[in-house]
Amino acid sequence: MRLGIITLLLALLLAAPIACASDAIDLNPAPTPEAELPAQLPPLSPSVLEEALPFNANCGALLLAEQQSGQIIFAMNPDSPRPVASVTKVMTILLALEMLDAGRLRLEDPVSVSKTAAGMGGSQVLLDVGERQTAATLLKSMIVGSANDAAVALAEAMYGSEAACVEAMNARAAELGMEGTHFVNCTGLPAEGQHTTARDVAVMARQMFSHDLYYEYSKIWMEDLDHGDGRATQLVNTNKLLRLYDGCDGGKTGSTQEAGYCVAVTATRGGMRLVAVVLGAPSGAERFDLAARMLDHGFANYRLYPVARAGTRVRGELPVTGGAKSGVGLALLSDLTLLVRKGEEQDIRLVPDLPESVPAPVAAGDRVGSVAVVRDGRTLAEIPVAACESVEIRGIARGIEAFWRLWPLLGEGAA
């Protein structure tokens, strides 16, 4: 009897269905919660939408990108290493914002100003040795007034020393793929070996501009800082476009004789946020004028086009060979929004790239293919496609069920 039961189990384990043909695949906007993933800032595009600059630019390097998609509209010398003066503080600010998000730093945390921090040259908020300010005040002083003393004081509070903060800055730069960047200090004061590129500035600026807390300080034009001893220092925003350019709500400036005049600035109009980077301009006015022209060009000629949303179902099922079900439902794994020239939206097509079938077992969330986003015969992007449910191996599933159902009989046969 035991031999007969074992034969039956083997037959069940080896049984497999014949895969059935799926329906024609196209996109049907029906959200599938199982396939949704948290939104993440996509990386900066390696290519540009415009090969030639739309106007002459008197500076060392520049780049114009869109915040949400990461697409670059145009660039000049984007990968040339350069000093960028206080634009370096973008990374210091970013680390503080990320530490606040992680709960490792609180805005209300008191910070005692060291002799090193108080002795910083360049732009300052005139902190005294032993003065106590909150992390919030130091962060605000960096963002609004580009204060070197506040930057070092906060760096020491976060990491114990400026040197340790610099190590964290370089580590974060490596994580973000900033291959043309090396930090030596957290302020941007002239230092041998410190450099970055227009592309890398755009990378870290986009990360900084993605934090809501940043805008609580970046939009401040003028404010007094109370030192607690009867003194007050007036903070004045170094980003003049905040008052001169419609939609500008953030940016970081920098200038030294070595770096020239630099800025990474952002503005938003009609739900689209652009990021303009200008490095090595001959004057502060030319730096801002050029950034404004760049932003004007982007807003006038481009719009965001929502191509797809995470969780959108792909109609039909992908055949599953050897599965408990003959097919599996599919869904897009990520959002995709592209920056397109106004009027070119109708040229975009979605082309599924899926296998004829997949073998069981299939787990919900497994990537099984992609959808190509095509315009004028050129693939602009790919959206991953995943199974939105699990499919077990048919024979094993049935065999295990039968095994446990017949286990008592197996025991009797052995006796």
Residue 189 has pLDDT above 70, yes or no: yes
Distance, in Å, from the CA atom of 212 to the CA atom of 108, rounded to the nearest integer, reads 18
Domain ranges of the chain: 2-39+310-395, 61-302
State the pLDDT at residue 35.
Answer: 34
Mean pLDDT of 351-355: 90
CA–CA separation, 177 and 204 (whole Å): 10
Instruction: Please report, rounded to a whole number, the percentage of residues in the chain having pLDDT higher than 90.
Output: 71
Q: Return the active site residues.
A: 86, 89, 146
User: Which CATH architecture group holds 2-39+310-395?
Assistant: Sandwich (2.60)
Residue at token pair 């915040």: 67
Mean pLDDT, residues 316-337: 89
Instruction: List, for residues 370-403, the tens digit of each pLDDT value.
Output: 998 888 888 888 899 999 999 998 865 555 555 5
**pLDDT-based confidence at 173, cuts 50/70/90?**
very high
CB 13 within 8 A of CB 397: no
Q: Is 111 exposed, middle or buried (0-12, 13-18, 19+ CB in 10 A)?
A: buried
- Mean predicted lDDT score pLDDT of the chain: 88
Are 332 and 312 in contact, with CB atoms under 8 Å apart?
yes
* Alpha-carbon separation of residue 332 from 27, 175, 291 (angstroms): 9, 26, 37
CA–CA separation, 394 vs 322, rounded Å? 6
Fold of 61-302: Beta-lactamase (3.40.710)
Condensed to tens digits (0 to 9), the pLDDT of residues 307-324 reads 888 888 887 899 999 888
Residue range 15-64, pLDDT digits in tens: 333 333 333 334 443 333 333 333 568 899 998 999 999 999 999 999 99
- Contact by Cβ (8 Å): 150, 125: yes
pLDDT tens-digit map of 286-303: 999 999 999 999 999 999
Arithmetic mean of pLDDT, 197-205: 98
Q: Do the beta carbons of residue 70 and residue 92 sit within 8 Å? A: no
Does residue 31 contact residue 231 with C-beta atoms inside 8 Å?
Answer: no
The tens digit of pLDDT for each residue in 73-89 reads 999 999 999 999 999 99
In whole angstroms, what is the distance from residue 63 CA to residue 84 CA? Answer: 14
Domain 2-39+310-395 identical in fold to domain 61-302: no
pTM of the predicted model, to two decimals? 0.80
Q: List Cβ neighbours of 70 (8 Å cut-off, separation of 6 or more).
A: 41, 42, 43, 44, 45, 206
Give which of 192, 188, 194 is closest to 121, Cα–Cα: 188
What are the counts of helices (DSSP H) followed by strands (DSSP E) for the chain?
A: 11, 18
pLDDT per residue as tens digits for the range 105-155: 999 999 999 999 999 999 999 999 999 999 999 999 999 999 999 999 999
Quick: pLDDT tens for 227-280. 999 999 999 999 999 999 999 999 999 999 999 999 999 999 999 999 999 999
